């Protein structure tokens, strides 16, 4: 369980009569209760996984086209009822309605891509059988693992888990999803909506509760776990999965940097920096947290960022620029980062310690932050940004790479965009725009270092939820067979001679 669960286990007389413990999900803007959900224990998680395993055979037998038909029907349902699900997202995260809608636009496009491309990427295909095995036909096929456990976060409660769920389903797996304790209603809505178009079997099930429910899912015998959340919890998930050698995909946080070169479009770069840092109140794993701007254009860039950030207002109303901090304990992290930097000599270009007014945090732009301060090294996950001068874009790359994280990154440069992008130690980079890679379904999404490993989205994301199965089929027998006790004592020597002839040059 996270230390500051907003929901709490029900202890009333009513709950004592009902043996199923429950918890509440709350609207972070108002504290209003928006839902009550069961706390599933290990036994219940086990039952759900067993049902998902039975369903998997049926789902797999539908084949790519049968699954595509059903996933397409789900996509259309999601589009028809987009505002209804957006409303649930708003209620549980507090984000503005249009931000929730935008999240669902991405969900729909990824779901479409996964269903449309699964067959092409995963179906059995021939590969060259090579010199030694020329008499064999060789094929590779990507088969579903079985049941995938998905553990999701609260910041993008539909988009983030759907990066695993849509791809895992398209590949022929069934899924058991444990949403964050802060956003269980979104998870339940997703599962119920899929059940409307696939009523036959539970191909997507949801278990709700706190950390122990997630841990139970890791130990339940699922064939793979896809986790998104903090690095620390990611390590715990991995340790739990290690006990049963259950494979894991770990998508953790980041401290993404944006580099502004001297020839950059400064207005576009400032716009991208502010949006990248502050949209969704900065609660974005690929959000911009640091900016390194070349000295020659730094003053102008700082002015542009200051002007834009100072205009933004958080709030609970639909037209606010961004909403509240969804997880109450995050407010303390943000305050510590801002105050800690200011105490050590940083300057606030916008806002400061007073900007932290729970549940909202107003924009904060800091500069001259000591490189080892938490604001410069740890994930802040708030509407804050650290902007620093560097001598050159190359120094910007060095500073960007000097991090234990390596999720995404951004480069603004007219002449050197691609070159600088390639030198960033990260899983994804946007050149002259921000976060664009997350909206391209064909591109893999994931990081290195403390940002985790494995990939969702794209071809890699489909393969992540499969086991490659290699098959050889004998086409004809040849006299030179070294893999039999019946071989002559000249067989291997002949093979070595042939190898020298063809592979020795």
**Cβ-count burial 161-182 (b if 16+ within 10 Å, e if not):** bbbbbbbbbbbbbbbbbbbbbb
**Shortest distance (Å) from residue 108 CB to ligand NDP:** 20
For residues 117 and 326, which CB has a smaller minimum distance to ligand NDP in the complex? 326
Distance CA 114, CA 459 (A): 9
Question: Does the protein bind ligand NDP through residue 165 (CB under 6 A)?
Answer: no
Task: Single out the residue of 166, 194, 252, 294 in contact with ligand NDP (rule: CB under 6 A).
Answer: 252
Q: Structure tokens of 54? A: 């039975």
Bin 426: left if φ > 0, else alpha if -120 < ψ < 50, else beta: beta
Question: Does the protein bind ligand NDP through residue 461 (CB under 6 A)?
Answer: no
How many residues are given for the chain?
505
- Residue 4, C-beta contacts closer than 8 angstroms, at least 6 positions apart: 327, 328, 329
**Shortest distance (Å) from residue 192 CB to ligand NDP:** 19
Which residue blocks in 344-431 are alpha helix, DSSP H?
A: 374-377, 393-401, 417-422
Question: Does the protein bind ligand NDP through residue 164 (CB under 6 A)?
Answer: no
With helix as H, strand as E and coil as C, how does 336-352 read? HHHHHHHHCCCEEEECC
369, with CB counted inside 10 A (0-12, 13-18, 19+), is buried
Question: Does the protein bind ligand NDP through residue 173 (CB under 6 A)?
Answer: no
Question: Does the protein bind ligand NDP through residue 172 (CB under 6 A)?
Answer: no
Positions 192 through 251 that interact with ligand NDP (CB under 6 A)? 210-211, 214-215, 218, 228-230, 233, 236-237, 251
The partner residues of 292 in beta bridges, in order of sequence, read: 259, 388
Task: Single out the residue of 2, 129, 139, 201 in contact with ligand NDP (rule: CB under 6 A).
Answer: 2
Task: Single out the residue of 25, 174, 330, 367 in contact with ligand NDP (rule: CB under 6 A).
Answer: 330
Considering only the stretches 50-58, 125-133, 325-333, 391-399, report the one whose residues sit in contact with ligand NDP under the rule CB under 6 A: 325-333
Which residue blocks in 311-441 are alpha helix, DSSP H?
A: 328-343, 374-377, 393-401, 417-422
What is the radius of gyration, based on Cα positions, of the chain? 26
- Residue 341, C-beta contacts closer than 8 angstroms, at least 6 positions apart: 366, 369, 370, 373, 374, 375, 376, 386
- Cβ-closest position to ligand NDP: 214
**Shortest distance (Å) from residue 452 CB to ligand NDP:** 8
Question: Does the protein bind ligand NDP through residue 491 (CB under 6 A)?
Answer: no
Active site residue 103: no
Give me the catalytic one of 181, 188, 251, 289: 251
Considering only the stretches 149-157, 427-435, 463-471, 481-489, report the one whose residues sit in contact with ligand NDP under the rule CB under 6 A: 149-157
Task: Single out the residue of 379, 388, 459, 464 in contact with ligand NDP (rule: CB under 6 A).
Answer: 379
**Catalytic machinery residues:** 251
Binding site for ligand NDP (CB under 6 A): 1-2, 151-155, 160, 178, 180-181, 210-211, 214-215, 218, 228-230, 233, 236-237, 251-253, 285, 327, 330, 333, 379, 381
């Amino acid at each position: 369980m996270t230390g500051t669960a907003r929901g709490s286990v029900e202890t009333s007389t009513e709950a004592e009569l009902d043996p199923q413990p429950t918890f509440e999900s709350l609207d972070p803007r108002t504290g209003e209760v928006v839902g009550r959900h069961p706390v599933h224990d290990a036994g219940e998680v086990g039952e759900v996984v067993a049902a998902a395993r039975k369903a998997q055979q049926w789902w797999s037998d539908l084949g790519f086209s049968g699954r595509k038909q059903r996933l397409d029907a789900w996509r259309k349902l999601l589009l028809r009822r987009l505002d209804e699900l957006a409303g649930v997202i708003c209620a549980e995260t507090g984000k503005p309605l249009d931000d929730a809608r935008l999240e669902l636009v991405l969900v729909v496009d990824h779901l479409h891509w996964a269903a449309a491309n699964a067959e092409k990427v995963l179906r059995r295909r021939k590969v060259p059988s090579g010199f030694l095995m020329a008499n064999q036909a060789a094929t590779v096929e990507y088969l579903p693992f079985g049941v995938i456990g998905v553990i999701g976060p609260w910041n993008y409660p539909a988009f983030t888990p759907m990066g695993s769920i849509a791809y895992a389903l398209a590949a022929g797996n069934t899924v058991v999803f444990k949403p964050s304790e802060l956003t269980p209603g979104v998870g339940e809505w997703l599962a119920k909506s899929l059940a409307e178009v696939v009523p036959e079997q539970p191909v997507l099930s949801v278990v709700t509760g706190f950390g122990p429910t997630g841990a139970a899912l890791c130990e339940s015998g699922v064939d793979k776990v896809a986790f998104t959340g903090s690095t620390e919890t990611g390590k715990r998930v991995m340790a739990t999965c290690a006990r049963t050698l259950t494979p894991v995909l770990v998508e953790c946080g980041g401290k993404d940097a944006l580099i502004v070169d001297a020839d950059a479009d400064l207005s576009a770069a400032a716009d991208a920096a502010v949006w990248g840092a502050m949209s969704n109140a900065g609660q974005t794993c690929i959000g911009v947290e640091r900016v390194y701007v070349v000295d020659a254009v730094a003053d102008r860039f700082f002015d542009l960022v200051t002007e834009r950030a100072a205009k933004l207002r958080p709030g609970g109303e639909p037209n606010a620029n961004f909403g509240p901090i969804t997880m109450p304990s995050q407010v303390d992290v943000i305050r510590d980062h801002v105050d800690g930097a200011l105490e050590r000599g940083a300057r606030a270009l916008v806002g400061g310690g007073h900007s932290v007014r729970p549940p909202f945090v107003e924009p904060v732009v800091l500069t001259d932050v000591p490189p080892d301060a938490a604001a410069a090294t740890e994930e802040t996950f708030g509407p804050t940004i650290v902007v620093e001068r560097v001598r050159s874009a190359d120094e910007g790359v060095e500073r960007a790479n000097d991090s234990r994280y390596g999720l995404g990154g951004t480069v603004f440069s007219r002449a050197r965009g691609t070159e600088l992008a390639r030198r960033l130690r990260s899983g994804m980079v946007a050149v002259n725009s921000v976060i664009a890679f997350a909206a391209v379904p064909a591109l893999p999404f994931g990081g290195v270092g403390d940002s985790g490993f494995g990939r969702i989205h794209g071809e890699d994301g489909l393969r992540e939820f499969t086991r490659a199965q290699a098959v050889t089929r004998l086409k004809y027998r040849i006299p030179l067979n070294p893999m039999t006790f019946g071989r002559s004592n000249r067989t291997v020597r002949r093979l070595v001679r042939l190898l020298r002839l063809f592979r020795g040059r």
